[in-house]
Structure 1
Amino acid sequence: MTLLESRARSGPLAGINPVAKLGAAAALTIPLVLTLDPVSAGVALVLELLLFPFAGLGWREFWSRTAIVWVLAPLTAVTIALYGETSGTVYVDWFLVRISEGSLQLALATMLRVLAIALPSVVLFATVDPTDLADGLGQVLRLPARFVMGGLAGLRMVGLFLDDWRALELARRARGVADRGRLRRFAGMAFALLVLSIRRGAKLSTAMEARGFGAPGQRTWARPSPFGRREWMLIALGLTIAAVAIVAAVATGAWNFILGPG
């Protein structure tokens, strides 16, 4: 565990059941997916930014974890602005590029919606431990134990996957075969890592079967996964933010139900 992870898991959200974080993320995401307007996404984003300081993440950690979201959201908006649906005044019309009043509004709404959906998901799951998530999925949601334990084993292998990639890169560099041909080098390393992953997966599945992970019958869990008042409060908070955003959009006439006719 890195120092970054240890700090994140000591924050106020660290002790909340991961299933509740899934529920809160879903409560925020589903209403925002049903509409595409700048008001609902903007209101939700403002409320989320006001609550992020209470998540227990330092500002440096927050920016490091969410940097990719801040980069990709504007890029998505640029694509929509250049090639989105044309309506209203047309400002630029050149070849396939057509920038209009409608495409700019759609680009703004898309960027805000991406930020409003992605940022809370990143912040909520910054404090999730894979084992705690597996306990919650198995005990709270009652998902099949075989599926849950297989997913947990896969998540635990991600760190080894990255270590293997670094080891392969260093080994090839030490042998002097990593100085040129980047595409060829990447393809060779990817194939080698695929073979290594398949072998490790086969060994892991055999070891898990030998230890009774695939045995029939009721499975017991080493650690309880409580789901109480704090978890329900987090889900209620997500529902409240979504409700305020929807009411604001409807009140201003900006609500745009994307699954509606026409």
Structure 2
Amino acid sequence: MTTLTPEITPSLVARINPVAKLLAALVISVTLMLSVDLVSASVALALTLVLVSWSGLSARQFWLRTAPVWIAAPFAAITTVLYGEDSGAVLWDGGIVTITEGSATLGLAIMLRVLAIGLPGVVLMATTDPTDLADGLAQVLRLPARFVLGGLAGMRMIGLFVDDWRALAQARRARGVADKALLRRFGSQAFALLVLAVRRGSKLATAMEAKGFGASRRRSWARESRFGMPETVLVLIGVLIAAAAVTAAVLAGTWSLVLA
């Protein structure tokens, strides 16, 4: 299984070392978590959306892969608006729940911040092959090979989980089991998938151990993972986006450290 699909057009971003993508997304995310304000989140979101066209994702792929982020952001905003700290003029008073100008502004800032943090990570990882990511983590960041290979094996199991879930649903439908009671069907099917996952994981772990994947010696890698100029440029772009967001917020007077 691979994260890249034939519908994704090969692009410069897809050929960049995944470690650089992780670092760029991490820089933007950490910076945006330092303050909750509209200006920094808006600037970061606008700049990252401009760079989306370089990812090689088609419009359909972009909306499908980022749909969870677009769904989660409004829910985070609504929760903050309803239960956030009240300040400023009261816009709506429902007794237990009160909406004020401060909570509404905070909710909008939270929504933009979720989008600004989530979208770059989803888009960058959508153009990443799991094997390339494992090579980068082991060779560039020097993470333990046992940890990296275990993570790679887990990522490759995701596609099998989807196939298993579909096969279980079809088998149960063919037997006429749980055609009704959606919640009960979901629970029993999820438990069956968990059993399959545990069994497959145990067999995979035994097979990998038998093939020497858990050896204490330093292992070699089939493909060299390089961190060159394109990777450096991408990390610098992430730093510039974070710096632009902070600078705009400071100049607008909205920057406020969360830890302060």
Task: Judge same fold: TM > 0.5, yes or no.
Answer: yes
AA of the residue aligned to 1:129: D
Give, in whole Å, the separation in 2 of the partners of 1:4 and 1:199: 27
Query: What SS does the aligned partner of 1:241 have?
Result: helix
AA of the residue aligned to 2:142: R
* Conserved? CA contact 1:16–1:231, under 8 Å: yes
AA of the residue aligned to 1:65: R
Q: How does 1:51-66 map to 2 (within 5 A)?
A: 51-66=51-66
Give, in whole Å, the separation in 1 of the partners of 2:50 and 2:183: 44
Give, in whole Å, the separation in 1 of the partners of 2:2 and 2:206: 30
Query: What SS does the aligned partner of 1:13 have?
Result: helix
* Conserved? CA contact 2:14–2:127, under 8 Å: yes
Q: How does 1:74-85 map to 2 (within 5 A)?
A: 74-85=74-85
* Conserved? CA contact 1:9–1:127, under 8 Å: no
Give, in whole Å, the separation in 1 of the partners of 2:132 and 2:103: 43
* Conserved? CA contact 1:36–1:109, under 8 Å: yes
2:230 corresponds to 1:230: yes
* Conserved? CA contact 1:4–1:61, under 8 Å: no
AA of the residue aligned to 2:71: V
Q: How does 1:147-226 map to 2 (within 5 A)?
A: 147-226=147-226
> Displacement, 1:194?
1.4
> Displacement, 1:67?
2.0
Give, in whole Å, the separation in 1 of the partners of 2:130 and 2:252: 42
Name the CA shift for 1:33/1:43 in 2 (closer, same or farther; >3 Å): same
> Displacement, 1:9?
6.0
Give, in whole Å, the separation in 2 of the partners of 1:3 and 1:137: 17
AA of the residue aligned to 1:19: V
> Displacement, 1:71?
2.1
Q: Kindly, what percent of the aligned residue pairs are identical?
A: 61
Give, in whole Å, the separation in 1 of the partners of 2:97 and 2:3: 47
Give, in whole Å, the separation in 2 of the partners of 1:189 and 1:52: 37
Give, in whole Å, the separation in 1 of the partners of 2:144 and 2:109: 39
AA of the residue aligned to 1:68: P
> Displacement, 1:182?
2.0
Partner of 1:256: 256
Name the CA shift for 1:2/1:214 in 2 (closer, same or farther; >3 Å): closer
Aligned residues: 260
Give, in whole Å, the separation in 2 of the partners of 1:179 and 1:2: 33
Name the CA shift for 1:174/1:154 in 2 (closer, same or farther; >3 Å): same
Q: How does 1:59-138 map to 2 (within 5 A)?
A: 59-138=59-138
Give, in whole Å, the separation in 2 of the partners of 1:210 and 1:251: 60
> RMSD in angstroms over aligned alpha carbons?
1.5
Give, in whole Å, the separation in 2 of the partners of 1:7 and 1:185: 33
Q: Normalised by the size of structure 1, how large is the TM-score?
A: 0.95
> Displacement, 1:7?
3.7
Query: What SS does the aligned partner of 1:35 have?
Result: coil
Query: What SS does the aligned partner of 2:99 have?
Result: strand
* Conserved? CA contact 1:83–1:96, under 8 Å: no
Give, in whole Å, the separation in 2 of the partners of 1:218 and 1:181: 53
* Conserved? CA contact 1:9–1:128, under 8 Å: no
* Conserved? CA contact 2:34–2:257, under 8 Å: yes
CA-to-aligned-CA distance 1:4-32 (integer Å, 9 cap, x gap): 71342612211100000000001111110
